[in-house]
Chains A and B, each alone.
Chain A
Amino acid sequence: MKALRQIQKAMRRDRQFGLMHSARDMAPDVSHGELLYLEDLNLSFDGFKAIDDLSFYLEAGELRCVIGPNGAGKTTMMDIITGKTRPDSGSASFGLNIDLLELSESEIAEIGIGRKFQKPTVFECHRVIENLELAMAGDKRVFPTLFAKLTGEQRDRIDDVLGIIGLTEHAYRDAGALSHGQKQWLEIGMLLMQDPLLLLVDEPVAGMTHQEMDRTAELLRSLAGNHSVVVVEHDMEFVRAIAKRVTVLHRGRVLAEGTMDQIQNDPKVIEVYLGE
């Protein structure tokens, strides 16, 4: 029995290399209104429960903020959604139909989940414009990538995004030479190029000036509607500026959920978080 399961597992792994190219063509079924379902997730590291019976739902087109003290499990939750970490138990699905736990990171990216990391990671050896080009939605298989050429349309799209993230002048600089805040913007730009259905944004405004924060807030708000967005952020002002609904994570579980006002008046939240 065990052996059989092992074989099944191995076969599933093979899908990464399988001939079929299924993930690209999958679209999430949002007929119940929700885009993301996380249910009863559990994950422990050496006995430490980083995620504890976590359930989380996100509506299509919603912009949600997730807050919580350090170590609450926010980044880990994103890791689970994007396939970086597998939970010990529970389920995660994209729409009603796509089981995220079955897919690899790149497949998850292909079905339309994009992510900005807590620590900005851009390709430092590449120019800004090349970073955007790499992120651009399109056929990302090996041979099409080998022979890919930029069409005029794609070029325009890159220019648009350069404008949005304010890096037009820096388009031909190496990304490694950018300031921290610029790298944050570039990473957001890469997310835009990817044009995903769901954006997971981990602490986007760390290292930004107030003006930049305002622009980021505006950008994220403008994305909502066409896209679903989950933002993890510590900066309360920023959260208040963008979020309609806020989820508070604490010790790997959802402590409270509601509007910013509800949250701020929730005694539990005040105790563990705002009270600090």
Chain B
Amino acid sequence: MGFIRALKGDTGGQIMLFLLGLVAIVVPILNLWVPASSPWYLSTYTVTLLGKYLTYALLAVAVDLVWGYLGILSLGHGAFFALGGYAMGMYLMRQIGERGVYGNPELPDFMVFLDWSELPWFWYGFDQFWFAALMVVLVPGLLAFVFGWLAFRSRVTGVYLSIITQALTYALMLAFFRNEMGFGGNNGLTDFKDILGFDLRSDGTRIGLFLASAAALALGYLACRFVVSSRLGRVAVAIRDAEARVRFLGYRVERVKLWIFSFSAALAGVAGALYVPQVGIINPGEFAPLNSIELVIWVAIGGRFTLYGAVLGAILVNYAKTYFTGVMPEAWLFALGGLFVLVTLLLPKGIVGLFARRKRSTAQPADVTP
């Protein structure tokens, strides 16, 4: 199978997937079958936390695909993630049905609260899981497609592209804050009850979501590996390093960028969709430009241009965040800020770069950005 062959030579990825598989086996055992009194017991809270990290890792892989391999520093992936999250949130909202505070079988609580009499058209279909699942990939993917179509066609590159992706994110945030948009405004979507009929608060469902996140990460990783180890992946790296030259070889640079960018956005959407049922809420804060930049730094810290480095970075930084914000919240921003500075200055290849024996590549990711 092509997907498996994609792992050839990717030692880091093999190790990562192996560990992921291990975790996927061990975690459910420690949570479901070890008694709560045992020191080996893993609380459901921790499981959810781990699940959340895995969705972040998937998001980071999506970012690395476009940044590390295509040279597009997207500051919009936080928005794609949030859009996927909203699509899932809308499904979960509609699953609440009559159990909402106002007991309206059709309308989510916030619409009743706003005195809306009927469901807006764009909420149709979200009571069906398959439809919501489709939207999870389609909405971010299409947005990225339209945006990319405009941007790449006009050859907006480098910093300009980063800045306008950030503007896009910001505009979306402002939009989702508006009550009139019909996505719950400031408060977003929350108070979810169940997913596919399973109670969201039960341990079993939590484990299920955790496993789904692990599976999504593994599949997403393999898909990205498949892309980057194909000839298209080599074209992508060539575009990153010498865009004009690729054009003169006859490749449609715009289309290559467009497809990879849209694919990456859809992947980010999937990550968001898995994130929302685990944390139980999605609100416009997820669109904050800070988030999008922060996740770039996960990738940078782990090591861009390796994919598994992105996974490592996402998990490490988020673990540190959980730890710091618990122990000494004031220090977190100092630490994060310091990380941004130190990693860009001292660790252009990230943590992975510290360990990787130079196998073949003299590629210096630090030099690839225009």
Contacts and interface: CB of A to CB of B under 8 A. Distances in A.
B250 A110 contact: yes
A161 B327 CA distance: 62
A123 B250 contact: no
A13 B234 CA distance: 26
A201 interface: no
B156 interface: no
B234 A126 contact: yes
A235 to B, nearest CB: 24
B250 A124 contact: no
Interface size range of chain A in the complex: 35 or more
A174 B359 CA distance: 11
A145 B363 contact: no
A29 to B, nearest CB: 20
A134 B153 contact: no
A172 B359 CA distance: 12
Interface stretch (B80-88, B240-248, B269-277, B288-296): B240-248
B153 A13 contact: yes
A125 B237 contact: yes
B168 interface: no
B255 interface: yes
Contacts of A140: 249-252
Contacts of A106: 247-253
Contacts of A1: none
Interface stretch (A89-97, A114-122, A213-221): A114-122
A16 interface: yes
B230 A109 contact: no
A176 B363 contact: yes
B231 A121 contact: no
Contact of A141 (B249, B255, B361): B255
Contact of A177 (B230, B259, B362, B368): B362
Given A17-B153, A117-B245, A148-B230, A125 B363 contact: yes
A105 interface: yes
B362 A176 contact: yes
Interface in B222-280: 227, 230-232, 234-235, 237-238, 240-242, 244-256, 259
Interface string B326-342: 00000000000000000
A82 B238 CA distance: 19
A142 B232 contact: yes
Contacts of B252: 16, 104, 106, 140-142
Top 6 A-B residue pairs of the complex, sorted by shortest distance between their CB atoms: A109-B250, A125-B363, A105-B247, A146-B232, A123-B238, A145-B232
Interface of B: 149, 153, 227, 230-232, 234-235, 237-238, 240-242, 244-256, 259, 360-363, 368
27 contacts: A13-B153, A16-B252, A82-B248, A106-B248, A106-B251, A107-B250, A109-B247, A109-B248, A110-B250, A124-B241, A124-B362, A125-B237, A125-B238, A125-B361, A125-B362, A125-B363, A126-B237, A126-B238, A130-B234, A133-B234, A145-B230, A145-B231, A145-B256, A172-B360, A174-B362, A174-B363, A190-B249
